Structure 1
């Protein structure tokens, strides 16, 4: 279980509270961007991005891959975590140290100690790609927070309520921003509005998102 503690790492002017248990740490990942870029390239060279299929047969607009002990996947059989990449039958690549250290530090900065992620979903959004409002419910328990790292093009984060029908906040996310939510906010609906066209030195005409969770 992850406890709450005082914020030791992020200056107050760089924190934005979204709700009880949820905040944005502005620019928190910027000092690691070179290492993050190298790690993303290494993971995706081994296990490339792909457009997964929902249980209802729809092609997801964001391309995805995973690293860590477990990887999130979806197809006609449903949403789930697997230890192996269904496309290759091989284990997902190991989680790069820079991913794990960033997630642990960001969680602590947001007030959650002891976060040790075992799964990282990597999403690549290109212009027009989106993520509909959803809850992260495939994990074994909901004590650990979710850490989401934004890299590349800016995006609009939709942070909703406990019901899908609740009107979401529209939160701008820039390169290097990290969102953390847990505790009372852990099962809030969230998503990404359609990505606007543009170019960024980090990822070209794309946004890369790292979503780190404790799945087991």
Structure 2
């Protein structure tokens, strides 16, 4: 893959851990601009960008908007139960399709025969780990980080589906800390995620702890027009119809 001008070595697709894959520069500049404009539209109220408050009374420094189903600590609902109470915005079909394409790009697996290539259908997931799913990506969490934002080590454990998590980065580079499934501590690896990078984790890595200890302000590509970092996380819920 191409890196930044002047880099000695191009950044390559890397398996960080079994089932966890980093694909640098996966999103072309035009697709990054399209995603940014979509995020700006989703961030507007109702059911717009909000500050997430934890049950213990704290607040997350990254602000968030959800699509498809609304995530709150620690569950899902059809409405913004910890905000303005509005119905959550729908998950666009094109974004579900992007999730399917991302899994294929990360794991290098062909579509099963006869799926027709529809949005979110027939996705083969995992790296020989038996976590394949035909379910569509139906949840998106969009987190906005300014220069002081962080995300503590956590697991994405509220979903019933074992489909891989798809993470897309826009804007400032961050340090993405990818850990293990047993604890928030070591061993972990710190992976710089730049604008346009893809990170997918499924199979044995699906419930690994991960977080963002640092954002590097001013590192976004100038042509994007974004100060800060956007992370678009796509998930398959497998939840049926959660309560309001």
TM value normalised by structure 2: 0.76
Given that 2:36 and 2:170 are in contact with CA atoms closer than 8 Å, whether structure 1 keeps it comes out as: no
Determine which of 181, 187, 190 is the counterpart of 2:207: 187
Given that 2:173 and 2:217 are in contact with CA atoms closer than 8 Å, whether structure 1 keeps it comes out as: no
Corresponding residue for 1:118? 138
Given that 2:166 and 2:233 are in contact with CA atoms closer than 8 Å, whether structure 1 keeps it comes out as: yes
Deviation at 1:193, TM superposition (A): 1.4
Gaps of 5+ in 2: 1-10, 108-122, 125-133, 240-244
Q: Deviations over 1:124-152 (max 9, x none)?
A: 000111111111111123x2000000000
Q: Deviations over 1:147-172 (max 9, x none)?
A: 00000000010001122222320100
Pair member with larger Rg: 2
Corresponding residue for 1:54? 54
Gaps of 5+ in 1: 1-12
Q: Secondary structure at the match of 1:133?
A: strand
Given that 1:14 and 1:27 are in contact with CA atoms closer than 8 Å, whether structure 2 keeps it comes out as: no
Corresponding residue for 1:137? 157
Distance of 2:94 and 2:202 partners within structure 1: 22
Cα-Cα RMSD = 1.7
Distance of 1:164 and 1:192 partners within structure 2: 12
Q: 1:199 to 1:164 in 2, by over 3 A?
A: closer
Distance of 2:90 and 2:146 partners within structure 1: 25
Corresponding residue for 2:235? 213
Q: Deviations over 1:162-207 (max 9, x none)?
A: 2222232010000000100000111111001122322634353210
Given that 2:25 and 2:196 are in contact with CA atoms closer than 8 Å, whether structure 1 keeps it comes out as: yes
Q: Deviations over 1:93-131 (max 9, x none)?
A: 112334222211001222362452111000000011111
5 Å-filtered alignment, 1:3-152, equals 14-30=12-28, 31-46=30-45, 47-68=47-68, 70-74=69-73, 79-86=74-81, 87-111=83-107, 113=124, 114=134, 116-141=136-161, 143-152=162-171
Distance of 1:88 and 1:182 partners within structure 2: 33
Distance of 1:97 and 1:203 partners within structure 2: 26
TM value normalised by structure 1: 0.85
Corresponding residue for 1:7? none
Q: Secondary structure at the match of 2:100?
A: helix
Q: 1:66 to 1:73 in 2, by over 3 A?
A: same
Q: 1:130 to 1:203 in 2, by over 3 A?
A: farther
